[in-house]
Every structure is written in C-alpha cells, then in structure tokens.
Amino acid sequence: MSTLVIIGTQWGDEGKGKVVHFLGKYADYVVRYQGGNNAGHTIIFEGKPFVLHLIPSGIVLPRKMCLIANGVVIDPESLYEEVELLKTKKINIKNRLFVSESAHIILPYHRYLDELREKSRIRIGTTRRGIGPAYADKVVRIGIRVCDFLDKEIFFSLLDNNLKEKDPLLKKLCAPKSIRQNIVRNYEKLKNFLKPLAVDTGILLEKAIRENKNVLFESAQGTLLDLDFGTYPYVTSSNPVAGGVCTGAGVGPTKIDEVIGIVKAYTTRVGGGPFPTELKGKTGEYLWERGLEYGATTGRPRRCGWFDSVIVRHSVRINGIERLALTKLDCLEGMDRLKICVAYKYKNKIIKEFPYSRHVQRDCKPVYIEMEGFKGNIHGMTKYSQLPLNARRYIEKLEELVNAKISIVSLGRTREETIIKDKYFPWIK
C-alpha cells in the first residue's frame, strides 16, 4: 500500500494536473479532497489540452478509480457538464467516478452571493463560482449535502429555508423566486445524474488502503491560498494543504505515506493579493508569454514573478514535504540572469520566514540573489545530466533554499516531457 498527496506549494497553477497525470499511471485511486470548480487542472490528452474543474485528473487514465471526497463543494450543473465533456472524448466514467454523499453542494444562489460580494468593497478576486458562500453555509450549518439533494422532501425544505434567509441579499441582484424556478426546472435531471455516483467515499478509501491499493490525493489551488496558512484574506475557502486530506477525505494521518510538493520554476498568481516578487516589466511579460500563463478556470492572465523561496520554504514546513516536482523550467530558457527571493525587507528589518501580517505581506520588498541563466532548448531531455550546467545549478540552489529535494523536473506539458531526478522516489516503479 502506498498513499501519496500532491500539493501546490505556491498560489496554485503550479502544474499539478500534469504531475497527477504523470504519477497517476501508478495509482489505483485518484482522490480530490477540497475546493470546488474554481480549480482548473489542465492535462494533455491525445495531444490536446483540456481542463478538468471537479473530476480528478486520473479519469483520463484507463481503469483508475476517481473519487470526489467530502471536503469538496460540488456544483451539480458543473459536474454534469464535465461528465458530458468526457463523453465527447469517449472517456467512460461508469463505475469509475464516485462523489461523497456528505459533500456539500453549490446552488445558483451561491454564485449570486459570490458575485454580489465581488462587486462590493470586499473584493478579493474570486472566480465567482459560489465556492466561498457554499463553504460558509457548511460552517454555519445550513448547507445542503449530496445526500440531502437526493432526498426531494428534505432538499426543498432546506432550499426554501436558505432562500428565505438570503432573500435580503439576493434581491439586490435578482428575484429569489426565479432562482427557485431554475433549480426546480433542473432538479430531476441532476438528481438522476448524481444518484448512481453518490457513495460513502470514506469507506471506499478505507477498503482500498486495507487492500494495499495505491491511492493518490490531489489538491486544488496551492498552500498560499490555504484558508489558515495562506495570504489571508486573499485565499480560497478550504484547506489545500496536506492536513486537509484527513478532514477532506476521511483518512487518518497515519495512513499518509508521502507528500510531494509541486513548485513552478518561477512564481505566478491569479487575482488580488500580495505578491512580493511580482514583475511588471518586460521580464514578467516574457514569463507570461513563455509559460502561457492564463488561469485555467477563468482565462485571466496570471501575474508573474521571480521564484520566492520564502513562501516555498513555508509550504515545505506546513505540508511536511521532503520531495518536490519542479515545473516549467523550460520557460526560463534564454534569460541572461535569474533572480531568487531569499528573504523580505520590511522597515529596514530582514524577514526570512513567511509573515502573516497583512501590512508586512503588502509592503515588504524581496531580497534577491542572482544566478547566471541558461540557453538552449531543453525540451526532450530525459536525463538530469543532459541539462545545461547553469540549469542544474539553479535547481540545486532551490533545493538548498527550500529544504527539500527536487525529485521530478518537468520540461513541458505532456507526460513524456519529464525527468526523474531522484531514482529512489518510492512512487515510481
């Protein structure tokens, strides 16, 4: 038995989908344990990229069991559309995709509430998919779970109570009566769609682990978007850190064998919030163009900056990471000099650890070291020794600064464009 957690170590968009697709071939189960359809995992299938928002990336691999666990908030409409997309690609989900009956669901009024908040003074740059409001309902104990949705009597009782409670806010954008009509119109179709997928995913996982299956847990977003450990309030509404697996999937901490962090060779961020190493000139544009840096879910351009070892070292500590997968190294080709942030400066004070203060996060300045860049096309290289000397020096400096070994180096979007640097990485057979 082996359980592996795949974690984003920055602000998301690190390339987790590619790594899950690469390592998923060794898995029996692929499990999503938090977030909602605000996430986007881009994978290459039959030479073409497409984006999954809710369904684990392992669904494109034959015979893999894919679970959406209790910590995820599920938009039934979005999940239905995603399954329909997979059908057009002749990917069968029958007896392979299951959702937790205790996962909470997103309904149209959650999206309206998300939009309302983003139009107010409390704008943080959400995807407006209703994720935060759905998690908020869960916490204040008025949420509707998959099992509730499947029970018509219970569902409509809960729905009417929620609409009544939210009526004063919803009236600012639309008529609550029209929201109910829309939900009623789609209810039977979505209920019949969800019913064969709904199970107790915790029991499925316990059985899989007892039978020595390989289980891969994939997070959405990244550690710096974690509700507790990120750049609050510019964060997501769940816990993408490794600890989130326990509450988000119903797995005890003693059942987790390995955590691997995914880290981009530079740093990106979508939406608002502090970003100490952000580049706004030609260098940032170069990274943006080379990396095709657009949000997988929203299409918004990502902000780009130099590698920030302060936030990655924070992620390594929070998640208990010993190994990393480095992505998009090829996007640094052709740059004369490379910078790495090793600390922050705030009011003449040097800060080497991630600060939680909003003022410090907003106003700190990065402290850089510089290294020589590397040239030449590194696509197609399959051995670490083939990389240019300065590329290897850059990787080894990152390992030193973040206190973790880089075991995998990704040189492109497809599964084949990958170097296994650490031959002892236990998941690789």
Given a cut of 90, whether residue 60 has pLDDT beyond it is no
* pLDDT given at position 291: 85
Given a cut of 80, whether residue 183 has pLDDT beyond it is yes
2-99+199-255 adopts what CATH topology?
A: Adenylosuccinate Synthetase; Chain A, domain 1 (3.40.440)
Helices (H), 195-271: 201-210, 244-249
Place of tokens 């409409």: 77
Report how many helices (DSSP H) and strands (DSSP E) the chain contains, helices first: 13, 20
Percent of all residues in the chain with a pLDDT value above 70, rounded to a whole number:
93
Q: Which residues are designated catalytic?
A: 13, 41
Given a cut of 70, whether residue 382 has pLDDT beyond it is yes
What is the rounded CA–CA span in Å between residue 16 and residue 312? 15
pLDDT digits (tens, 9 = 90+) for 210-247: 999 999 999 999 999 999 999 999 999 999 999 999 99
More confident residue, 175 or 74: 74
Dihedral sign, Cα of residue 184, residue 189, residue 195, residue 198: negative
pLDDT confidence band for 392 (50 / 70 / 90): very high
Given a cut of 80, whether residue 158 has pLDDT beyond it is yes
pLDDT confidence band for 101 (50 / 70 / 90): very high
Is residue 149 a contact partner of residue 105, using CB atoms and an 8 Å limit? yes
What is the rounded CA–CA span in Å between residue 68 and residue 189? 20
> According to CATH, where is 3.90.170.10 located in the chain?
262-420
* pLDDT given at position 25: 87
As a CATH number, domain 104-194 is: 1.10.300.10
* pLDDT given at position 296: 60
- pTM, two decimals, is 0.92
* pLDDT given at position 45: 67
pLDDT digits (tens, 9 = 90+) for 17-36: 888 888 888 999 999 999 99
What value does the mean pLDDT of the chain take? Answer: 91
* pLDDT given at position 329: 95
* pLDDT given at position 82: 93
* pLDDT given at position 424: 67
The reply to whether CATH 3.30.1360.120 applies to domain 262-420 is no
> According to CATH, where is 1.10.300.10 located in the chain?
104-194
Tell me the CA distances in angstroms from 122 to 11, 130, 226, 273, one per residue in order. Answer: 20, 15, 18, 12
- Taken as a whole, the chain contains a residue count of 429
